[in-house]
Amino acid sequence: MVNVKIFDSLDAVARDAEGALDRARQAKIYDRLDWFRLTEAHIAQSGKPLIARALNAGGTAWLFLRETAPGRAEGLGSWYTLDYDAIRTGTSPDVLGAIPDALRELTEINLYPVNDPAPIAEAFRGAGWKVRVTRASVNWLIDPPASFDEYWAGRPGKLRNTVKRKAKKAGLEIAIHRAFDESAWRDYETIYARSWKGEEGSPAFLRALAQQEGEAGTLRLGVAYREGAPVAAQFWLVENGHATIHKLAYDESAKELSPGSILGEAMFRHVIERDAPKQIDYGTGDEPYKAEWMARARPLYRIEMLNPRQPRAWPKLARRAVSGLVRRPTSD
C-alpha cells in the first residue's frame, strides 16, 4: 500500500518529511529542503510549488515541481540546479511508480538537468505517459588522487606550463576562505561584474547560498588579487566526499595574466590536500577549458513527459509523431 500526497507549499512538505529532507539525511545539496527554500525565496519564477510524495513501509519518494501554467509543470529548480532528480529514501521499488498517477491532472512535465533519467522515465512510462529523454548538456568530472602533485602531473602540459609561466609574471596573492567573509564576497561580486559573464542570474540567491554553506563548513571561496585589486574568484562547495565548482570568473582587464588558471591551480591544490574529495565536478556545460582540469564528461538529460489522457497533450503528441522525434529506446 502506497500513500501519496500532493503539497503546494514547502512548509507543508517540511511538516510531512519530519527532517527527512534536511542536511543530516540528504547527502546531495539539490535534494534538501533548504535548497528549494533558497530557490523559492530568491529566484522569481512563475508558478507555484507542486510536490508529490509517495510513501510505504519500504521507503519514500518526492518529486519537486513547479506548476508554471494550467496543466504544465517543470522541476522546482533554476539555472543554479546542477543535478535534478526524484528524491528517494529506503529500498522500495514501488514508491516512485505511484507518483505519476497522482499527477494525472497534469498535461506536461519537463525536467532538467537529470543525471540518471531511467527511474523517472520508467515510472511515468509505466503509468501510460509518453516520455522523451534527450541529451541536453554534460557534467565534467574527475576522481582525483590523494596527492595534488599526482593530479597536477596528469593535466595537459599546456595548462601546467601556462600556470607556471604566468604565475611568475602575475605575482598574485591568493586567499581561500572556508567560511563566509563579507569582504571576500564583495570582491567576488566585483570580479563577476568585470568578467565576461555579465550580470549574475540572482546575486541574492548566490549570496544566501554562500552564507548558508559557510555556516555549514562546506564553502570554499577563492579570490586572487594583484596589487591589492581582486582579479579572479572561484566558488566551490565541498561535502560528503564531493566537490563542486559552482562559479568562477576573472576580470577581463587581467585576462593576459591567466588569473583564472592560476587561481584554479591553487583551489585544486587546497581542496585535494585538505578535503581529499573522492570526486570533483565542474557543474554543467561543455566548455573546452573544463576538459583540461577534469577526466571525463557524463551526459545530462532533459525529460519531457506528456499525458495522453489529457486532450491538451494531443497536439504536441501529434507534432512529435509527425516530426519523427519519437525514437526508441529513449522515447515513446
One domain for residues 265 and 155: yes
Distance CA 282, CA 245 (A): 5
Cell of 138: 554534460
One domain for residues 119 and 229: no
Nearest-5° Cα angle at 325, 323 to 326: 120
Give domain status of residue 211, yes or no: yes
Beta-carbon count within 10 A of 207 CB:
17
CA dihedral 147, 148, 151, 157 (to 10 degrees): -140
Query: Could you write out the DSSP letters of every residue in 83-135?
Result: -B--EEEES-TTTGGGHHHHTTT-SEEEEEEES--HHHHHHHHHTT-EEEEEE
One domain for residues 59 and 131: yes
Give domain status of residue 289, yes or no: no
Are 45 and 78 in contact, with CB atoms under 8 Å apart? yes
One domain for residues 115 and 168: no
pLDDT at 329: 47
pTM as predicted: 0.93
One domain for residues 305 and 240: no
pLDDT at 129: 98
Distance CA 332, CA 330 (A): 7
Radius of gyration of the chain (CA): 22
Burial class (CB in 10 A: 0-12, 13-18, 19+), 161: exposed
Cell of 271: 581542496
Give domain status of residue 208, yes or no: yes
Query: Could you write out the DSSP letters of every residue in 213-251?
Result: HHHHT-EEEEEEEETTEEEEEEEEEEETTEEEEEEEEE-
One domain for residues 28 and 65: yes
Out of 241, 262, 277, pick the residue that ends a domain: 277
Strands 279-284 and 296-306: unpaired
Give domain status of residue 193, yes or no: yes
Give domain status of residue 239, yes or no: yes
One domain for residues 10 and 111: yes
Q: 295 Cβ partners below 8 Å, 6+ apart?
A: 141, 142, 143
Q: What is the CATH number of the domain that holds 13?
A: 3.40.630
Torsional sign, CA 184, 185, 188, 193:
negative
pLDDT at 332: 56
pLDDT at 326: 45
* First-to-final CA distance of the chain: 29
One domain for residues 58 and 163: no
The 8-class DSSP code of residue 331 comes to B
Which of 176, 200, 182, 162 shows the shortest CA–CA distance to 273? 176
Cα→Cα distances 210→84, 206, 236, 258, Å: 20, 6, 9, 25
Which of 288, 231, 283, 229 shows the shortest CA–CA distance to 256? 231
Q: What is the CATH number of the domain that holds 229?
A: 3.40.630.30
Provide the residue-wise pLDDT of the chain in tens; the chain has 332 residues: 899 999 999 999 999 999 999 999 999 999 999 999 999 999 977 789 999 999 999 999 999 999 999 999 999 999 999 999 999 988 777 799 999 999 999 999 999 999 999 999 999 999 999 999 999 999 999 999 999 999 999 999 999 999 999 999 999 999 999 999 999 999 999 999 999 887 788 999 999 999 999 999 999 999 999 999 999 999 999 999 999 999 999 999 999 999 999 999 999 999 999 999 999 999 999 999 999 999 999 999 999 999 999 999 999 999 988 876 445 545 55
Question: Where in the sequence is the domain holding 190, given as residue range(s)?
Answer: 144-277
Q: Structurally, how many domains does the chain consist of?
A: 2
One domain for residues 51 and 18: yes
Give domain status of residue 292, yes or no: no
One domain for residues 24 and 67: yes
One domain for residues 62 and 167: no
Q: How many Å is the maximal CA-CA distance in the chain?
A: 68
